[in-house]
Amino acid sequence: MKIKGKRKMHRSIWQILWITLVISISSAGVSVAAWHDGTQIMGTVTTGSIKPLFTNVYVVDQSPNDSSCTVFPEIKTDDKTMTLTVNNAHPGYQAQLRYEITNKGSVPVRYVPEESADYESGIVKVVNQFPKYPEDVVLEGGGSAEGTLTLIIDATPEEDAYNLQIQMPMYFEQAIPRVAAKGGV
């Protein structure tokens, strides 16, 4: 008879443990269901084209005010290339130009600043100043932003003609909005 009592006690402990386990798992399932019911994850997918293009360029200031030295800015037909032609260049000449970039695409874009946005050689220096905080500028479809180029002639030998092509890459990426998740119990 002593053996029967120990078995009953042993069996009742396992029954209590199993019942406790079932109740614990059930309450966890109810909690997860309540949390999941209050959580919303929202996303936006945008498809279209990314097309930032030069739309305007003009001279703002020249120094010294020497009418013999002039700069002619031009936007090429692809609207992705800007050329600056300087006639009668001489050391010390500076010109400040303002340009406009417009997003002709349908997807919002953000300018990605590069370390090589400026150009410098022994003859000429070009400083590119897009908006002060370019990472904050998002160009929606049809939106535009202005930047400034400063052209400085350092040294040029006299009686020579120079054809100088400068590549200053400007990179844009899709502007991805920050995602917010709402939730609660």
pLDDT in tens, 122-136: 788 888 887 756 666
Cα–Cα dist 4/7, whole Å: 5
Considering only residues 112 and 160, tell me which one the structure prediction assigns the higher pLDDT: 112
Cα–Cα dist 36/136, whole Å: 34
Dihedral sign computed on CA atoms, order 145, 117, 121, 127: positive
Residues contacting residue 139 through CB under 8 Å, at least 6 positions apart = 52, 101, 102, 103, 108, 109, 110, 111, 145, 172, 175
Q: Give, as one character, the DSSP assignment of residue 183.
A: -
Give the distance from CA 99 to its chain's centroid: 19
Most confident residue range from 29-33, 85-89, 115-119, 134-138: 85-89
Bridge partners for 139 per DSSP: 109
Which segment of 64-68, 71-75, 177-181 scores lowest on mean pLDDT?
177-181
pLDDT of residue 1: 47
Nearest Cα to 111, choosing from 160, 52, 66, 44?
A: 52
Bridge partners for 124 per DSSP: 153
Q: How many CB atoms lie within 10 A of CB 82?
A: 16
Dihedral sign computed on CA atoms, order 141, 45, 49, 128: positive
